[in-house]
Amino acid sequence: MDTLKDKVTIFAPASVSNVGPGFDILGFALEGMGDTITLCTREDSAYIIEAIGADLPTDPERNVATVAIRSFCKEIGYKGGFTIRIEKNFTPGSGLGSSASSAVGAVFAANELLQTGYSKEELISYALDGEELASGNRHADNVAPCMLGGFVAVKSCDPFDGFQVAYPEDLKVLIIFPDIVIKTAEARSILPTEVSMSDAIQQAANMAGLINGLTTANYIMVKNSLKDVLAQPYRKKLIQAYDEVERLCEDSESIGFNISGSGPSMFSFFKKEQDLTQLRESIKELYSDRGINCRLHESVINGRGAEIVND
Amino acid sequence: MDTLKDKVTIFAPASVSNVGPGFDILGFALEGMGDTITLCTREDSAYIIEAIGADLPTDPERNVATVAIRSFCKEIGYKGGFTIRIEKNFTPGSGLGSSASSAVGAVFAANELLQTGYSKEELISYALDGEELASGNRHADNVAPCMLGGFVAVKSCDPFDGFQVAYPEDLKVLIIFPDIVIKTAEARSILPTEVSMSDAIQQAANMAGLINGLTTANYIMVKNSLKDVLAQPYRKKLIQAYDEVERLCEDSESIGFNISGSGPSMFSFFKKEQDLTQLRESIKELYSDRGINCRLHESVINGRGAEIVND
């Protein structure tokens, strides 16, 4: 029998959800952005939280990471405590799955530390208990790609039913994150509860095109299908200069553009070899002219999801 | 330069549209069932229609085949006439794309006869002019698979934008056609014009699963995704014994079951090697007990679409 570890460090990537017609159901993981979480067992039963890079709640009842761990430990009957160090290198509220990264990372780390042997798929529902605290709902389109990596389509959450979608190797993504505050609850409340039958049909058609385009590496199909008719028309109004940013990406041969999560971040696909220096400068200038700071992140898709960090 | 032909015979397959979550947007072509159409040029400008196997309108303004040909000939500026012989080996109004077969076959034959050189994709809009006469709308989810073969997803009709979806080679389909009359207009009028946001999202999720399942030959995913939440819950009420037939197919290891087109036909996927003799007998008996005749058709997917018949 293996000796129990007393410390583990993991990385859980940021993620883009609501990928075009995949509103509430399709997300993908990002390379080079996410939570680094170190989890240690304790002699007592306390949960001690240390946050770096963001002002996170230190009350274990209000922190998504510890809520997720507690849900998992309740299931497996573990009554011990933990010290958890969450190093966040991106901003909560950006629309890049910050709470999912913390919840997934925490549960993944606990499973590793306690050597419980649950599969990543099995861990998703506990991560969702954390995610639910932050976002108020149980959508897994950030949690699932953060856990599994790549593109993940979610068919249902309880129990988790979803699948990874193949994608072209040379796909990269530009994340545009203007310094605008959008609350997930607000982004959700502006959506209608009823939609027209024709919009529902068009969304399904766009989804067919997006999945087929990704799996066959047909970039024209990806671009033409990356359209969300249910949420984006409402939510884009919350993001200043949305149309202008889209146009700049278009001019740089974007392979599809849309809102990341509930915003304010946006994402645009490109081919890996494309030089985006000029585009990045243009976008920064666009927001700078409006007195808004804007961060940019360029990366390939993270195909691995949550993983142990080698010291 | 080639000599113009004065006669051509083509086959245009029957098709299943509204494939689960592909309501209005996804269809596939059937092997061994469809229209055989012989088209001849005439010295005069008349359109003479001969119908075999079904009672079709002989007025060229009211026959989908000649309406489609006229639309095409108007485009290319051809003012001559035709004799058209339509041999229909399946029943109009069955939910198997009878009007699409005639419209596609006619336009395909005219393009061949006049050696116009249009691509199949280009011919689709003229076929839709014929289809529109019969069904009252311009959905291409019968026309496109009938023309192109295989599974075709339709993103828009004018201009046509759609694509073929890969599918497992050993997929076969059982068509169940009870002798019940359902008018397309009635099947459409019972549908709501507004749907809930959550149903619209579920439909897109099911579509993601169906496309991914077909392209990766994942039968469990196909089966779990072949669910239409927008139209099927309403339309199945028009089909007597729908639930019982579904159960019989389930008991025979169906890989998904749903309504074909707007009914009354139903379809169920199976693996090619499966023996469906017992299932077919059970279904026939089920309807026989209710005093309803029921026809069954078992075939693989037709991957070729409209084609010239070798004499």
Contacts of A165 in chain B (CB under 8 A): 208, 212
Q: For residue B26, which phi and psi values (nearest 5 degrees)? A: -130, 130
Nearest CA-CA distance, residue B91 and chain A, Å: 28
Please, how many CA atoms are within 13 Å of residue A117, restricted to the half-sphere of its CB?
3
Please list every residue in chain A whose beta carbon sits closer than 8 Å to the beta carbon of residue B163: 209, 212, 218, 221
pLDDT tens digit string along A140-170?
999 999 999 999 999 998 889 999 999 999 9
Q: Which residues of B touch A210 (CB under 8 A)?
A: 208
Closest CA to B155 of B147, B165, B166, B169: B165
Q: Report residue B47 as tokens.
A: 């359109």
Closest CA to A124 of A151, A100, A153, A94: A100
Closest CA to B35 of B83, B106, B94, B95: B106
Residue of B154, B188, B195, B234 to mutate when probing chain A, most A C-beta within 10 A: B195
CA distance A75 to chain B (A): 28
Computed from CA positions of residues A135, A138, A144, A147, in that sequence, does the dihedral angle turn out positive or negative?
A: positive
Tens-digit pLDDT string for chain B (311 aa)? 345 678 999 999 999 999 999 999 999 999 999 999 999 999 999 999 999 888 888 898 999 999 999 999 999 999 999 999 999 987 887 889 999 999 999 999 999 999 999 999 999 999 999 988 887 788 899 999 999 999 999 999 888 999 999 999 999 999 999 999 887 778 888 999 999 999 999 999 999 999 999 999 999 999 999 999 999 999 999 999 999 999 999 999 999 999 999 999 999 999 999 999 999 999 999 999 999 999 999 999 999 999 999 75
Helix (H) or strand (E) holding B257: strand B257-259
Phi-psi region of A41 (alpha: psi -120 to 50; beta: other; left: phi over 0): beta
Say which amino acid occupies A193. Answer: T
Task: Decide if B144 contacts B17 (C-beta within 8 A).
Answer: no
| Interface check B165 vs A, CB under 8 A | yes
Domains parsed from chain A with CATH numbers: 7-165+303-308 (3.30.230.10), 171-300 (3.30.70.890)
Helix (H) or strand (E) holding A31: strand A26-41
Quick one: tokens of B20? Answer: 């689960």
User: How close does chain A come to B90, measured CA to CA in Å?
Assistant: 29
Environment class of residue B94 by beta-carbon count within 10 Å: exposed (0-12), middle (13-18) or buried (19+)? buried
Measuring CA to CA, how many Å separate B283 from each of A108, B20, B243? 50, 21, 12
Between strands A266-271 and B26-42, the pairing is: unpaired
Suggest the residue from A155, A193, A234 to mutate for an interface test with chain B (most B CBs closer than 10 A).
Answer: A155
Cβ within 8 Å, pair B230-A201: yes
Which residue, among A91, A90, A42, A84, has the nearest Cα to A67 in the 3D structure?
Answer: A84
Tokens 């026939």 sit on residue: B284
- Name the residue in chain A with its Cα closest to that of B166: A212
Interface membership of A191 toward B (CB under 8 Å): yes
Beta bridge partner(s), residue A41: A82
Judge whether B226 is closer than 8 Å to chain A, CB to CB. Answer: no
Say yes or no: ipTM exceeds 0.90. Answer: yes
Q: Which residue has the tokens 């934008």?
A: B161
Residues A69, A82: contact at Cβ < 8 Å?
A: yes
Q: In chain A, what residues touch B156 (CB-CB under 8 Å)?
A: 205
Judged by a CB distance cut-off of 8 A, whether residue A206 touches chain B is yes
CB A226 within 8 A of CB B47: no
Determine phi and psi for A244, rounding to 5 degrees: -65, -40
Structure letter (DSSP) for residue A113: H
What are the residues facing B272 on neighbouring strands?
A: none
Question: Nearest chain B Cα to A162, which residue?
Answer: B209
Residues 130-159 of B with CB under 8 A from A: 153-156
> Which chain B residues are within 8 Å of A23, Cβ to Cβ?
201, 204
- Asked if B68 has any chain A CB less than 8 Å from its own CB, the reply is no
The two structure tokens encoding residue A249: 């990406």
